[in-house]
Amino acid sequence: MNKIAVTAGSIAIALIIIVIGGLLAPQAVQACSCAERPEVQQQMKSKAAIFAGTVVFTKKKADIPFVSRSSDSPVQVNFEVNEVWKGHVTNHLTVHTALGSESCGVEFKDGQQYLVYANAKKGDLQVDSCSGTMLLSQASADLSVLGGGSVPPVLQAPAKQSSSIPIIISIVAVLLLAVFIAYAIRRRREVS
């Protein structure tokens, strides 16, 4: 019985170390390099969606405590769309990008307006720094080629979503701590 308790305690400690180590381990970083930016006419043919909008909020994997992150960590960017040139785009839309520019991510800032060139990937709109997405204030040349867009259909704004991952991590940590404490108490009683 004593050996079983020691083994259970060792396994619990090993699991704690593995979980924490896996969450905090650094990830590999990729470099981003783009060919020359395509002309607007080419963008109209190749992109799944082209629109102008304001960033309402961003949701980053990096915002979750104790979770490893790298430049390629995913980011969801929610837009309030003002004008559409291509794609099935509503007045509220989410696009995905990478966290850092090293992984071709676009570093969107809340409250800023952008001209967005997005690709479709696995049912989501993806944006990268090679796509030509830019601040709307710097897009006058593109806008003159694009001409007038259309007003997007109106949908209800999505609510900010909170992540359940920190809660799950906390529950697992508390359960592992409880197992370790129970083991320590049992061990102490056996020694006495």
| DSSP states of 119-174 | EEETTEEE--TTTT-EEGGG-HHHHHHH---BPPPP-PPPPPPPPSHHHHHHHHHH
Instruction: Express each pLDDT in 14-32 by its tens digit.
Output: 666 665 655 555 554 446 7
> 152-179: string of b/e by CB count within 10 Å (b at 16+)?
beeeeeeeeeeeeeeeebeeeeeebeeb
Task: Give me the numbers of helices (H) and strands (E) for the chain, helices first please.
Answer: 4, 6
For residues 126 and 95, the answer to whether their CB atoms sit within 8 Å is yes
Angle, alpha carbons 187-190-192 (nearest 5°): 110
Give pLDDT, residue 29: 46
- DSSP class of 108: -
pTM (two decimals): 0.61
Give pLDDT, residue 166: 67
Low-confidence ranges of the chain (pLDDT < 50): 28-30, 67, 71
User: At 154, which amino acid appears?
Assistant: V
User: At 81, which amino acid appears?
Assistant: V
